[in-house]
Amino acid sequence: MGQNISFSAKISEQDLYKYNMHHAYTSTQGIFSLIVSCLLIVVWIARFNTLSGVYIVAYPVVAVLFALYIPFTLKGKAKLQMQQDVFKFPLDYELTEEAIIISSPSAENPAELPWEYVYKVTIWKDYLLIYTNRINAYIIPKDQITESYDSILAFIKSHVEDYKYTIK
């Protein structure tokens, strides 16, 4: 391609929370918690007339706990993660022929992600996600890269294997 592409992006606590929620509810644990929550409500409704007073209260309370545990946990996790130095500044990205170089004022040395180690590149809602493995990704809000969005995607597409580039 020739020319390197540079851009910066800063994620917010809300961005991190949305990303974590997305991964939680596309994982086995998240799906399981929703199924258990729904089953408890279905059983509660179906057996309401035969349940004792304790169970009439317990079923919906446990269902709500199952439904809300993950979101509340992830909200706290996002809040804690945002206290790390790396999230206090925008990350600077440079797409080169060899790698994606990520630097931050909070780190002494830039991180280098060689193209062959990119796990997957995709778009989810308002984010460009560059995965380093099945779970972890660089979260880049699309609204922060609007001017260079198309050239960024073209550069990435020309540097990762087709099966890793899942952008339509």
**71-115, pLDDT tens digit by residue?**
999 999 999 999 998 899 999 999 999 999 999 988 889 999 999
Task: With beta carbons less than 8 A apart as the criterion, state whether 95 and 87 touch.
Answer: no
What residue spans define the domains of the chain? 5-11+84-164, 16-81
Q: What dotted CATH number matches 5-11+84-164? A: 2.30.29.30
3-class secondary structure for the chain? Answer: CCCCEEEEECCCHHHHHHHHHHHHCCCHHHHHHHHHHHHHHHHHHHCHHHCCHHHHHHHHHHHHHHHHHHHHHHHHHHHHHCCCHHHCCCEEEEECCCEEEEECCCCCCCEEEEHHHCCEEEEECCEEEEECCCCCEEEEEHHHCHHHHHHHHHHHHCCCCHHHECCC
What is the structure's pLDDT at 168?
81
Mean pLDDT of all residues in 149-165: 96
Instruction: Tell me: pLDDT of 149 over 90.
Output: yes
Work out the pLDDT band at 27, boundaries 50, 70, 90: confident
Mean pLDDT of the chain: 93
What is the structure's pLDDT at 30?
87
Mean pLDDT of all residues in 126-151: 95
What is the structure's pLDDT at 106?
86
What pTM value is reported for the model? 0.84
- Give percent above pLDDT 90 in the chain: 84
What is the structure's pLDDT at 14?
96
Work out the pLDDT band at 2, boundaries 50, 70, 90: low
